[in-house]
Amino acid sequence: MTNTHNVYKTGTTTIGIVTKEGIVLAADTQASMGNLIANNDTTKIYKINDSIAITIAGSQGDALVLVRHLQNHANLYELEHKKNLSTKACVTVLSNILNSNKMVPFFTQFIVAGTDGDLYSMDMAGGLNKEEQFAFSGSGSELALSVLDSDYKKTLNIKEAIQIAKKAITSAKKRDIYTGGNGIKLVIIKKNGSVEELPIEKYN
């Protein structure tokens, strides 16, 4: 597991958790502009295709340019090859783009997960790591990490991972001023299955 938030701190908290059934992605919904809250209902998890989803942290403009590029690349790949782009191929494309722009970088961090069971974390210079347990990014990482470290087990199922994800994001929200919003976004990537977006979990 790579502590990518040390490379560049970004105002958000996003996490990914590996389970025996698939991967759970979670993110807060607050968009910050300096010390101001710009939006409380911002989406920070996007589908790339029917088998890959990605979380974003950092500059939303930078991140969305890259998300759209990956979506287009995945669509073209599917048309040409009659199958979905793999998670490894997706992160390789993204890594190459980020690395080629490191002199004038995209101020972003990503977590990428696929139905093939792969979970990757990536920093703004294109450095990537395949994660076997969980991944995290953003300014609330330390707070979320304490929950992930204490509660993660290899035997987790998706339902249990959802509860840990909610607990981790809520923990970050309580202490990190850049993590917040009106709810928690959750996406389930089922192993050899589909990418499912759950209804927004509202904070109490």
**Strands laid side by side in the 128-130 sheet:** 45-49, 52-58, 108-114, 119-122, 128-130
Give whole-number Cα distances, 100 to 118, 121, 125, in Å: 24, 18, 8
User: By C-alpha distance, which of 106, 113, 178, 166 is closest to 140?
Assistant: 178
Q: Which of 12, 14, 29, 87 is catalytic?
A: 12
Q: What's phi and psi for 3, nearest 5 deg?
A: -85, 75
Judge whether 12 counts as a catalytic residue: yes
| Matching residue, tokens 């990482």 | 141
Helix axis angle for 87-100 and 60-81, nearest 10°, is: 130
In 146-171, which positions are buried (b, 16+ CB within 10 angstroms) versus exposed (e)?
Answer: ebbeebbeeebebebbbebbbbbbbb
Gap between the Cα atoms of 101 and 124, Å rounded: 9
25, 113 contact by CB (below 8 A): yes
**Residues known to be catalytic:** 12
